[in-house]
């Protein structure tokens, strides 16, 4: 009997170790909603309940919280004049070949700095294959676009200009178009000290403007810094689920609500006409097939439709998809390259959240949306 007890205890311990390694808490304490409210609104994240993290996430983990403002790089410091110039260029359709499309055509502040479409219209009404990402808080990212093809905001600024499907313009002609507008000379002099118009200065000005697009005063931000009554009981429950049983925190962490990494969330649409391997097209690494950059969840309530392909029309669709834990796609009788079959991230697991919990999670996500200022387009130089 003594030995059987030893084996039983050993077995239980080994099982607990395995579950712990998988990120499953064996002794998660139970809290009332009022206790959770007091902990999360204490202004001290060290008092928060422990998050449900996988071992890989624990390395360098930063929790969600109040977002500050982005910093500006030493090579492109902030100035008000540069921001004003960048904002004007952002709205100017003369940056494009057709003279009809501007950056704001796909990144409209009235539409959450996106365009509200599944995929965007570009030059000659061509459509791209990915959803236009919001520019909210873009200054906090380390990689840009869904696939991470740009590594600085300055570099990012001219990718759409040159894309044949988007603005279809050469950088040489873009520079010439802006240089031909006399009023811009004054703006470039104010921003850079002289009137020279160059591609590099256009990039720097647009990037400076884009870093000013910040959302950091949501109800969530105010709640976690002491305004304990700003979230409903349901929203508090959703916040706790987000960090624990729903496991969202494993990818959507840091005050940005993004880990700035690439993950395969099972949406490569392998073998379909919309197949997209994401970051793999840049890295060439097998493990990056179907991996896309983790988007921030700030302002997620107004940045739909969702996912890189824009196929999820409601936020509830997204929540329910992840609750299913990356269900196997419908098998189609098509010829596919098996060597490139995407392997979804192990972070994805069936969650078994009930309808009430899903509703609470969705309610919390909407606390990240603010009534941000939606600026009117600026007057464009040389256009009456």
Q: 163-167, 196-200, 272-276: which range is least confident on average?
A: 272-276
Contact 217, 23 (CB under 8 A): no
Average pLDDT over the chain, rounded to an integer? 91
Tens of pLDDT, residues 107-152: 999 999 999 999 999 999 999 999 999 999 999 999 999 999 999 9
State the Cα–Cα distance between residues 51 and 259, nearest whole angstrom: 15
> How many CA atoms lie less than 13 Å away from 336 in the CB half-sphere?
16
Give me the CATH code for the 26-68+217-368 domain, please: 1.10.760.10
**pLDDT of 199 higher than 80:** yes
Using N-to-C axis directions, what is the helix angle for 233-243 and 355-365, rounded to 10°? 90
**CA proximity to 13, closest of 350, 371, 21:** 21
Which pLDDT score, from 0 to 100, does residue 177 have? 98
Indicate the pLDDT class of residue 42, thresholds 50, 70 and 90.
Answer: very high
Architecture of the structural domain at 80-211: Orthogonal Bundle (1.10)
Tens of pLDDT, residues 297-318: 999 999 999 999 999 999 999 9
Tens of pLDDT, residues 339-357: 788 888 889 999 999 999 9
State the Cα–Cα distance between residues 88 and 96, nearest whole angstrom: 14
| Token output for 328 | 């196997």
Phi then psi dihedrals of residue 239, to 5 deg: -60, -45
Which pLDDT score, from 0 to 100, does residue 25 have? 47
Of 335 and 360, more confident: 360
Burial 72-107 (b: 16+ CB within 10 A, else e): bbeebeeeebbbbbbbbbbbbbbbbbeeebbbbbbb
pLDDT exceeding 90 applies to what percent of the chain?
83
Of 217 and 373, more confident: 217
Q: Do the annotations mark residue 248 as ligand-binding?
A: yes
In the predicted model, what is the mean pLDDT of residues 363-378? Answer: 90
DSSP 43: S
Residue 264 is inside which H or E element, if any? strand 262-264
Contacts of 38 (CB under 8 A, 6+ apart): 228
Residues linked to residue 114 through DSSP beta bridges, in sequence order: 108
Q: CA of 344: how far to CAs of 270, 289, 292, in Å?
A: 11, 9, 11
**pLDDT of 19 higher than 70:** no
Place of tokens 């969650």: 351
Which pLDDT score, from 0 to 100, does residue 326 have? 73
Asked, colleague to colleague, whether 26-68+217-368 and 80-211 share their fold, the answer is yes
Q: Do the annotations mark residue 308 as ligand-binding?
A: no
Which pLDDT score, from 0 to 100, does residue 327 have? 67
The domain ranges of the chain are: 26-68+217-368, 80-211
Q: Do the annotations mark residue 103 as ligand-binding?
A: yes
Q: Does the predicted model carry a pTM greater than 0.85? A: yes
**pLDDT of 16 higher than 50:** no
Q: Do the annotations mark residue 263 as ligand-binding?
A: no
Q: Do the annotations mark residue 359 as ligand-binding?
A: no
Indicate the pLDDT class of residue 17, thresholds 50, 70 and 90.
Answer: very low
Indicate the pLDDT class of residue 169, thresholds 50, 70 and 90.
Answer: very high
């Amino acid at each position: 009997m003594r030995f059987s007890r030893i084996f039983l205890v050993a077995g239980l311990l080994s099982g607990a170790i395995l579950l712990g390694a998988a990120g499953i808490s064996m002794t998660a304490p139970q809290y009332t909603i009022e206790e959770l409210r007091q902990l999360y609104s204490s202004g001290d994240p060290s008092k928060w309940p422990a998050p449900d993290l996988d071992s890989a996430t624990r390395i360098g983990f930063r929790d969600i919280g109040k977002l500050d403002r982005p910093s500006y790089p030493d090579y492109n410091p902030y100035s008000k004049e540069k921001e004003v110039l960048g904002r004007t260029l952002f709205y100017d359709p003369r940056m494009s070949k057709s003279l009809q499309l501007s950056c704001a055509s796909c990144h409209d502040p009235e539409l959450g700095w996106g365009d509200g479409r599944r995929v965007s219209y570009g030059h000659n009404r061509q459509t791209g294959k990915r959803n236009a990402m919001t520019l909210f808080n873009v200054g906090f990212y380390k990689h840009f676009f869904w696939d991470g093809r740009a590594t600085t905001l300055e570099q990012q600024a001219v990718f759409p200009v040159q894309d044949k499907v988007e603005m279809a313009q050469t950088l040489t002609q873009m520079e010439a178009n802006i240089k031909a507008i006399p009023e811009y000379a004054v703006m470039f002099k104010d921003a850079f000290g002289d009137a020279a118009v160059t591609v590099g200065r256009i990039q720097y000005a647009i990037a400076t403007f884009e870093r000013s697009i910040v959302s950091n005063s949501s109800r969530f931000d105010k709640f976690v810094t002491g305004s304990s009554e700003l979230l409903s009981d349901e929203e508090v429950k959703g916040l706790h689920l987000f960090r624990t049983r729903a496991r969202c925190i494993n990818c959507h962490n840091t005050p940005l609500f993004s880990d700035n990494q690439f993950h395969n969330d099972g949406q490569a649409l392998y073998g379909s006409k919309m197949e997209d391997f994401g970051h793999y097209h840049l890295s060439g690494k097998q493990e990056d097939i179907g991996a896309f950059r983790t988007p921030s969840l700030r302002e997620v309530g107004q940045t739909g439709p969702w996912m890189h392909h824009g196929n999820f029309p409601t936020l509830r669709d997204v929540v329910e998809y992840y609750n299913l834990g990356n269900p196997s796609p419908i098998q189609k009788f098509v010829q596919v390259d098996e060597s490139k079959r995407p392997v979804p991230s192990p972070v994805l697991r069936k969650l078994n959240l009930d309808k009430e919990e899903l509703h609470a999670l969705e309610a919390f996500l909407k606390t990240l949306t603010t009534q941000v200022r939606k600026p009117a387009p600026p007057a464009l130089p040389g256009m009456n």
